[in-house]
Amino acid sequence: WGRPRGSRLRNFNWETLPQDRVVGRQNIWTASLGESDRSAVHIDTSSMEELFGRREQPKNLSVRKSFRAKSPQRGGTIEVSILDSKRSMNISIFLKQFKRPVQDILEDIKQGASAAYGAEKLIELQKLLPDKEEVKKLRGFRGDRVGLSEAELFLLHLVDMPSYAERLEAMVVREEFQPRLRSLRFCLRTLTEAAHELLGCGELHTVMRLVLKAGNYMNEGGYAGSAVGFRMSSLLKLADTRANKPGMNLMHFVVMEVEKNDKKLLEFPTKLKNIKEASRMFTQEVHSELETLKRKLESLGATLSCQPDLWQQVQDFVQEAGTQLAEMGGAVATFETARRALAEFLCEDEERFSLEECCSIFNSFTHRFLRARQENEDRAELEIKRKRRERERREQEKKEKRTSIASCSHRECPMQAASLELALLRDYSNGLGRRSLRQERSTQPGALGRSHSLRPIRGAEG
């Protein structure tokens, strides 16, 4: 991993794979052994130690309580009396939605014309068929039919029709076969393509090997360290390993390291176009639905083949549907091959490996990866804004300081001029004072100047 680890880190609680399931086989973990140093992924261990280094804190024991809501159990069934007013009303409401005369509906059932109704309506009609007691009562009616309600008249004519239940069943099978087959074909194709995407996405494989390297560095020296691989469910635990920096976890660190290694690796979600849809499907239901369609088709053929008029109505459909079901067998085989190949590549148990569960894991991981990437970008943008505000604040402080110094200099100029003027006035005043003092001395007796005192004396002598 580079330099030895300098501090104790938080543990990444992943589920590691045994060596015998990885070593000596072609899988996602051994695929990196032939890579050159330049193409191998690297992690910033100093950053990891800063983010995930353990801090000694007092342990706070907390009790976590789990509350599991129990869904109320609804029991009991509504018992309906035979041909009572409520049942007659329900049948009348159902018939009115077709906006067709009752005789036309009965004729369509006799001819097997199902296209005008659809599978859902025909299934509802099946649920409204009379039970044994009602059939016995309807067939035993000997009164005037003119006074019967529309619902009772419909049931009365229906039970007089030979094999009415089988006719309705044939109509239902015909109408629901193609939509259900298209849905199953779409499910198998989506699941198969999702498996191929996971097998062929090299960027995803590189990201997972980076996670392996980061997890081994964090768990170094512990029971979960030196792992050769991990189970895919461990990817969902990345966000549970929190960093020392608020709002960050191991997922954010993985995204940063992926970006440092190669920004193209960040685009792996765009290559997994079918995993979201595949995560919503259930392989077991696909197999069960195919078996149901096959069983219904076989039952229909066996029931109606001994009734020439009915068999003539459904013969072409039964043969064509059988051919399409046989073709679906090839799609199932292709899906199963892709499922087993992905299970082997991910070092999972082939017999228990669920492709839709795997797709669900990678779909959640992809969603969290993209969210962590966006959060990293938002955090970096906030940091840029913070640094810009800090720089602007320092520049404003410098500007205010320069303005303060300049204003002080402007105030000192007139003060210096006034001081100079005051000094000059003081010197001038001192000079005048000395002159006046000399004048006073010259006017005092006996204090004549030389020029004034000598001239009179000289005149007297002459």
Domain contains 397 = yes
pLDDT, tens digit (0-9, with 9 covering 90-100), for 303-315: 888 888 888 888 8
- Could you read off the pLDDT of 99-149 as tens digits, one per residue? 888 889 999 998 888 888 888 999 999 998 988 888 888 888 877 777 778
Q: Are both 94 and 211 inside the same structural domain?
A: no
Range of the domain at 323: 174-201+283-352
Coil/strand/helix, residue 16: strand
Would residue 193 count as lying in a domain?
Answer: yes
In whole numbers, what is the pLDDT of the chain averaged over residues? Answer: 81
State whether 142 and 237 are in the same domain: no
Q: What stretches of 350-445 show up as alpha helix (H) in DSSP?
A: 355-443
In terms of domains, do 197 and 316 share one? yes
Same domain flag for 209 and 190: no
Residues 124 and 182 grouped into a single domain = no
Whether 455 maps to a domain, the answer reads no
Asked which of 43-57, 194-208, 239-253 is least confident by mean pLDDT, the reply is: 43-57
Q: In terms of C-beta density within 10 A (0-12 exposed, 13-18 middle, 19 or more buried), how is residue 130 classed?
A: buried
Same domain, 288 and 333: yes
CATH for 100:
1.20.58
Q: Which of 291, 324, 352 is the last residue of a domain?
A: 352
- Count structural domains, the chain: 3
331 within domain boundaries: yes
Dump pLDDT digits (tens) for 152-194.
888 888 998 988 999 999 999 999 999 999 999 999 999 999 9
Q: Which pLDDT value is given to residue 258?
A: 93
Residue 291, domain member (yes or no): yes
Are residues 342 and 381 located together in one domain of the fold?
no
How do residues 21-41 score in pLDDT, each as one tens digit?
788 788 888 876 555 444 577
In terms of Cβ atoms closer than 10 Å to its own Cβ (0-12, 13-18, 19+), residue 131 is exposed
Residues 108 and 210 in one domain: no
Do residue 287 and residue 156 come from a single domain? no
Say if residues 360 and 277 touch (Cβ distance below 8 Å).
Answer: no
- Among all chains, which residue has been given the structure tokens 């039952």? 299
pLDDT digits (tens, 9 = 90+) for 381-437: 888 998 999 888 888 888 888 777 766 555 555 555 566 667 677 766 666 555 555
- pLDDT digits over 270-302, tens only? 999 999 999 999 999 999 999 999 999 998 888
Domain of 389: which CATH number?
Answer: 1.20.58.2220
Yes or no: say if 124 and 94 are a contact pair by the CB < 8 Å rule. yes
Q: Which residue is associated with the tokens 């991910």?
A: 346
Is the same domain home to 208 and 144?
A: no
| Statement to judge: residues 111 and 94 lie in one domain | yes
Does 434 fall in a domain? no
| Domain assignment present for 367 | yes
